[in-house]
Amino acid sequence: MIPILQYAKSEFGRQWQGQLNDYYAYDYHFSGRWLEETETPNSDKLKYPLQVNVFELPVIMHTSFTFGEVPDDAASLVTPSVEIWEDGEKRVNPQAMKMAGRMTDLLDSAG
């Protein structure tokens, strides 16, 4: 059996496919492709003739409230902070803190 087919039959593969299906449904609504639907498959008459996408504005507003409104070229308002965790506990020894600081600096410089 081809490995990709084995992956698709695994539990993780089914979960991944489920998330992908959800994403496609969300994108279908956000992009407004549903506005192109016709009343019947053989009809040219649009089901939604006003072509108003009621999903786009609430999604954009939610994103703005969650992450802040910034111009496209602005630096990120959310700065990353790396923490080292092991066995459910945050590591605070000097070596772990130094490593976390270096990773945080690397992520900050990427933005």
The domains of the chain are located at 79-111
pLDDT at 2: 46
Task: State the DSSP code for 101.
Answer: H
Residue with tokens 């990773």: 103
* Residues whose CB is less than 8 angstroms from the CB of residue 85 and which lie 6 or more positions away in sequence, other chains included: 91
In single-letter form, the type of residue at position 82 comes to V
Q: Render pLDDT for 6-20 as a digit per residue (tens, 0 to 9).
A: 555 677 778 888 888
pLDDT bucket at 78, cuts 50 / 70 / 90: low
For residues 82 and 100, is the Cβ–Cβ distance under 8 A? yes
pLDDT at 94: 93
Q: Which helix (H) or strand (E) holds 28?
A: helix 11-31
Q: Render pLDDT for 81-98 as a digit per residue (tens, 0 to 9).
A: 888 888 888 899 999 999
Q: Render pLDDT for 18-47 as a digit per residue (tens, 0 to 9).
A: 888 888 888 888 888 889 999 998 988 999
| CA distance between the termini of the chain | 43
